[in-house]
A and B are shown apart, each in its own frame.
Chain A
Amino acid sequence: MTAADGVAGLLALAVTLYACSGLADYGAGFWDLTAGGGERGRRPRALIDTVVTPVWEANHVWLIFLFVTCWTGFGLAFGSIMSTLFVPLSLAALGIVLRGANFALRKDAAKAGRRHLAGWLFGIGSILTPFCLGAALGGVMTARVPPGNAAGDLWASWLNATSITIGLLAVAMGAFLSAVYLVAEARWRGMPRLQAYFRMRAIVAGLVGLALGAAALTALFFDQRQMFDRVVGRSWALIVIGVLALAATFLFAARGVVRGLRVAAAVGVAALVWTWAVAQYPYLLPFDLTIDQGAGAAVTQRWLLAWFAVALVVLGPALVLLYVLDQRGELVEDPTTSASTEDTPTPTGPA
């Protein structure tokens, strides 16, 4: 176990955290987009707005962490991936801008028309980004990204059966997860009709996800046999755990066990991410570049690990503080911010 292996582990961890925190958010955008126009989609959309959408796009922090760690630890792999997969990764960035702009601005886009447009762009971004990131991952897995500046095919590297099914799988998983969260929230808030609405969607998204997972494995079988053998041979237990955990989320949601639901969702997503990581180890770019071959200077790898330890020490307490204050009800939306509160009576205390 070298320092480079440790840094590669950090990369897999960053992908895991990004998937765990981000997929459900993307799924929320998917349901927002498909909720239907005007009056019909108003109620589900309002629930999505209040429940799933966080304060801002904090989850991209993990993506930035992934990129930065990759180019500092494994510069050659990073440059090769970003240049060969220029198109899907540019599109992913485009989706992030669309979503992020909407997050930063939607509270104040009070006018209905502008809000509608914002929601539409938000939905497009929510599908584009997970699809493209999944497709890029598929390109790496199927050994379509050789080392070098744009050394691989600009189009076939991500427009192939495996990439497309993995991209769609990412979208479906997000849709499933957010629908499951919304079932639990609707139940908790006592909204039976919305509960049924999202239960239906969770079932459909779950079934579609299962089908896409099977399709991705089939595509990989015909596409890149060596990787398929590794996935099935090394990671079969992770696949089983992932599917079972995701199925458990649905059961937890139906019974309203919110805490169990979040744990099961995290386990399920993490297991599927590690299915890939374990299968691909020790390759950064299958099957041309291993972690050892692609690793930058050892001193830099050690500093990256040290800095990660510092980050845990610094960020841990800050996150705990945020969580504790939030649980104690000390953090509330300030009416000075949002336009929507202007129309409703301000929830002031008995001052």
Chain B
Amino acid sequence: MVASVRVVSDWLIAAEPAQLLPARSQMAFTLMFHIILVPMGVALPALMLIANYKGLKRNDPVALTLARRWSHAAGLTFAVGAVSGTVLSFEMGLLWPGLTEKYGDVFGLPFAIEGIAFFLEAILVAIYIYGWRRLKGWTHFWLGLPIPFVALVGAFSIISANAWMNTPAGFTVGPNGEPTNIDPIAAIFNKALPLELAHFVVAAYMAAGFTVASIYVVGWLRGRRDRYHRLGILIPFTVAAIATPVQFAVGDSIARWLANNQPAKFLAMEVVTQSGADQPEIIFGRYDAETNTVSGGVRIPGLNSFLTGGSRDTYVQGLEAVPPENRPSNVNIVHTAFDIMVGIATLLVGLVAWFAIAYWRRRDVPRSKLFLWVAASAGVLTYVAIEAGWIVTEVGRQPWIVYNIERTSDTVTQADGVWVSFIVVLVLYTGLGIATVTVLRAMSRRWKRQDTRDEAAPYGPRPAPEPEAPEPEVDAAGRAGP
């Protein structure tokens, strides 16, 4: 048995196209970069509008300052996300021509929807950012209000396409393996869409909320305990605090849904090796693909069966029932990423409960140093969880690019040179990431300096028309003309 597994796996590795590893690495890297920016495009506009609303309703300049600054952070991350998103659309063809060649007309439509949603969001974001000084307060707010909803349409489209790869729909496989009876609308509304979309959108709100809050928690820890920091913590943290328990429920549903709909992924997440009842929950540990066993780790007896079906007697299929060539190519990565995601989620639920109790009792940010330290790292932790979740869904689907229908290795480009492009992308994105963080930090430092003289109020009256006289050339700062 062991020998036969080995023969099969050797055969698989030998048959693997040369471009598969670099192509998967490049796709994974660029997606993991892009996904950092996504919550800032999807959820940060909502935070900024909440602050904007508060500021206008209560005539609160501090809330308006927060809204204004968050809008600029959102604008910057949006622009960088536009770049990394353009690269992803190149990569769909550069790396996976087999996928777009064969299934483009089945699952391509949501990308067209996303393109329009993105364009609309870009226009609205530009109006919002450039409207701070001259537009009337409420006009400005109402023009900004559609942004989070348009962002949801974009998220819906991309998640729909990814969900389709997990639960392909909207076609039947023809005699030569070609898709026939194509129905692109059925492909959009595939089975995995509702839960995957909910899981991702709530995660985006958690990430944006915890990340923005953590920046002000750091300031709070350094002793800047003013109203600006207090609001800067309370608004985003409250949003994240509402999202976190919702996520716990959604995450639990999605795991049980996977057990029935994508068993191989579920088995890799939970490293269930042998079918049977009374399955333990294994935390970490190391899976050995050759022997299909797990060594090390902590086992909680019966918990996996209990979580899957509500009782210890629940029968759970094991990886031994999945043919070796159809098992996720790296069970350890999937399992570890899953445990990390769940671990962080559990920690965050605790943090949110603490916040809720403290706020209910004193209407303020909790005083405890421990709370503040964990809250300061909650943003980074949420991002780690998002990346881990993305790894679970993507690596867990392998070796399939279209689940149970098309293998990733059959769709990869046959053009040489993916290693080169991967290395270039690696270097370039590292530079881009460093530059983005540097600029965001420079913005925040500048704001700190300006805090004493933060340009009067937004929505100021329009200045008198400037004199008609032509400007003499361009001045030192590079601005010219009226």
Which residues from chain A sit less than 8 Å from chain B, CB to CB? 43, 45-47, 49-50, 55-58, 60-61, 63-65, 67-69, 71-76, 78-84, 86-87, 89-90, 92-94, 96-98, 100-101, 103-105, 108-110, 149-150, 154, 188-191, 193-194, 296-297, 299-301, 303-304, 307, 310-311, 314-315, 318-319, 321-322, 325-326, 329-337, 339-344, 346-351
CB atoms of B122 and A61 under 8 A apart: yes
Q: Are B446 and A342 in contact (CB under 8 A)?
A: yes
- B31 beta carbon closer than 8 Å to chain A: no
B461/A300 in contact, CB under 8 A: no
Residue B127 lies at the interface, judged by CB distance under 8 Å to chain A:
yes
B94 within 8 A of A: yes
Q: What CA separation (Å) do A150 and B357 show in the bound complex?
A: 61
User: B408-428, CB under 8 A of A: which get 1 and which 0?
Assistant: 000001111100010010001
Q: Shortest CB–CB separation between residue B253 and chain A, in angstroms? A: 31
- Number of chain B interface residues as a range: 35 or more
Q: Which of A74, A105, A319 contacts B435 (CB 8 A)?
A: A105
Asked whether B133 lies within 8 Å of A332 as measured between CB atoms, the reply is yes
CA distance A61 to B424 in the complex (A): 24
Chain B residues, CB < 8 A from A90: 90, 94, 417, 421, 424
> Which residues of chain B from 61 to 105 have a CB within 8 Å of any chain A CB?
68-69, 72, 75-76, 79-80, 82-87, 89-94, 97-105
Whether A307 pairs with B112 at a CB distance below 8 angstroms is yes
Give the residue name and chain of the A residue nearest to B85 (CB). A64
Chain A binding surface, main DSSP class: helix
Q: How far is the CB of B403 from chain A (nearest CB, A)?
A: 19
Shortest beta-carbon contacts, A-B, top 9 = A296-B105, A75-B104, A72-B108, A82-B93, A79-B97, A190-B470, A79-B101, A100-B83, A86-B415
Whether a CB of chain A sits under 8 angstroms from the CB of B115 is: yes
**Chain A residues positioned under 8 Å from B415 (CB to CB):** 83-84, 86-87, 150, 154
Q: Given A79-B97, A100-B79, A109-B439: A331 and B134 within 8 A (CB)? A: yes
- Give A282 to B94 CA distance when docked, in angstroms: 25
**Interchain pairs with CB closer than 8 A, number:** 306
With known contacts A64-B115, A101-B80, A344-B477, A336–B417 Cβ distance under 8 A: no
Q: Which residue of A lies closest to B416 (CB)?
A: A154
Return chain B residues, CB-CB under 8 Å to A98: 428
CB-nearest residue of chain A relative to B76?
A104
Once bound together, how far apart are the Cα atoms of A52 and B56, in whole Å? 35
Picked from A63, A78, A191, A307, the residue with its CB within 8 Å of the CB of B93 is A78
| 8 Å CB contact of B471 from A84, A189, A318, A334 | A189
Q: Check A334/B461 contact, CB under 8 A, given A50-B480, A149-B413, A304-B112.
A: no
